[in-house]
């Protein structure tokens, strides 16, 4: 009992810290801290400082490759060092020396979405490996943006002569815009219209939303509704406006037999999206739950 209480308290502290972090202005959200606080609800004893220090050490090694002072993290690169040289140094440390790679064999394992697991196992999915790449780059002094392609996540860096894209899931493979477009065409298996917005940088908040949405779908597929609910709660903290998140949380509450909470969320969804295609089905679910609650009283 005491252990359970301590665990709950640690998870509650992680949630409060996450909430405080994401209420800041979007541009100053610390992605390393936010990602580790997401992991801290799965790992209540997580030592966040340990993993922050690990990322710092990776950045210091990159700076050593570039013959820069190791201790001067976050300082801009001097003009004599090109962004491409810094990218190649990052790729050498992360992919040649540390062997970070995409987890092709067990892609949908939820641990691929937890930054501490990515750091320990040197493997992850595109978005977590991209987050790591961005955060090492930030410490090195190299501006790296996250790019949310459909069904894949890469990063980009502005060079003196154009833009280069990097795929951390494929061990830092360098890509052109043409390569990114070709990947999207392969994903959709036709010459679908390419939306230029897919190549625009995502904000820290958008990145965290996408990372949590991945986890939510994994847990729903596994019918792990308790964990899926926790993810939904954090998605609504990040983006309270989308009605579909209220719907999804209501359905999860239904599976957990928390009918009053389910009805509250589903009613909110109907009010926010009265013309939604699934509104009739949702209203029917609400009626069924009201009947179940009446039978229980």
Q: 4-8, 28-32, 191-195, 291-295: which range is least confident on average?
A: 4-8
Other beta carbons within 10 Å of 181 = 17
Average pLDDT score over residue span 51-61: 97
Rounded Cα gap, residues 41 and 208, in angstroms: 15
What pLDDT is stored for residue 36 in this prediction? 98
pLDDT band at 1 (very low <50, low <70, confident <90, very high): very low
Cα atoms in the 13 Å half-sphere on the side-chain side of 151: 9
- 250 contacts: CB under 8 Å, gap ≥ 6: 261, 262, 263, 264, 265, 266, 268, 269, 282
Task: Tell how many helices (H) and how many strands (E) occur in the chain.
Answer: 12, 6
Other beta carbons within 10 Å of 44 = 16
213, two tokens: 């949405």
The reported pTM is 0.93
| CA 69 vs CA 52, 79, 139, 177: distances in Å | 19, 15, 12, 33
Task: Look up tokens 């541009």; give the residue.
Answer: 27
* 3 state SS of 256: coil
CATH of domain 204-296: 1.25.40.10
- pLDDT at residue 14 is higher than 70: yes
Q: 35-44, 159-168, 191-200, 220-229: which range is least confident on average?
A: 191-200
Task: Look up tokens 């509450």; give the residue.
Answer: 253
* 3 state SS of 171: coil
What pLDDT is stored for residue 137 in this prediction? 97
Cα atoms in the 13 Å half-sphere on the side-chain side of 188: 13
Between 274 and 8, where is the model more confident?
274
Q: Kind of pairing, strands 145-149 and 152-159?
A: antiparallel
The rounded percent of the chain whose pLDDT value lies above 90 is 87
Give span(s): CATH 1.25.40.10, the chain.
Answer: 204-296
Q: Which of 31, 37, 55, 52 is nearest to 205 (CA)?
A: 31
What pLDDT is stored for residue 4 in this prediction? 53
């Amino acid at each position: 009992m005491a252990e359970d209480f301590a665990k709950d308290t640690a998870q509650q502290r992680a949630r409060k810290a996450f909430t405080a972090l994401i209420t800041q202005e979007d541009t100053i959200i610390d992605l390393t801290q936010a990602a580790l606080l997401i992991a801290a609800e799965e790992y209540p004893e997580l030592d966040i400082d340990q993993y922050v220090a690990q990322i710092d050490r990776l950045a210091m090694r990159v700076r050593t490759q570039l013959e820069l002072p190791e201790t001067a993290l976050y300082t801009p690169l001097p003009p004599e060092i090109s962004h491409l040289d810094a990218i190649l140094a990052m790729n050498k440390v992360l992919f040649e020396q540390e062997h970070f790679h995409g987890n092709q064999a067990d892609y949908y394992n939820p641990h691929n979405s937890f930054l501490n697991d990515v750091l320990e196992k040197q493997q992850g999915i595109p978005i977590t490996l991209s987050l790591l790449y961005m955060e090492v780059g930030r410490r090195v002094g190299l501006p790296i943006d996250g790019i949310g392609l459909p069904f894949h996540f890469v990063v980009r860096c502005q060079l003196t002569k154009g833009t280069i894209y990097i795929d951390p899931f494929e061990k830092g493979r360098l890509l052109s815009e043409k390569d990114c477009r070709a990947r999207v065409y392969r994903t959709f298996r036709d010459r679908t219209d390419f939306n230029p917005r897919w190549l625009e940088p995502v904000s820290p908040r958008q990145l965290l939303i996408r990372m949590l949405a991945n986890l939510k779908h994994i847990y729903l597929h596994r019918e792990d509704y308790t964990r899926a609910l926790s993810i939904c709660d954090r998605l609504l903290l990040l983006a309270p406006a989308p009605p579909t998140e209220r719907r999804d949380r209501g359905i999860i509450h239904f599976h957990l037999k928390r009918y009053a909470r389910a009805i509250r969320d589903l009613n909110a969804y109907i009010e926010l999206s009265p013309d939604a295609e699934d509104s009739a089905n949702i209203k029917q679910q609400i009626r069924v739950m009201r009947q179940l609650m009446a039978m229980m009283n």
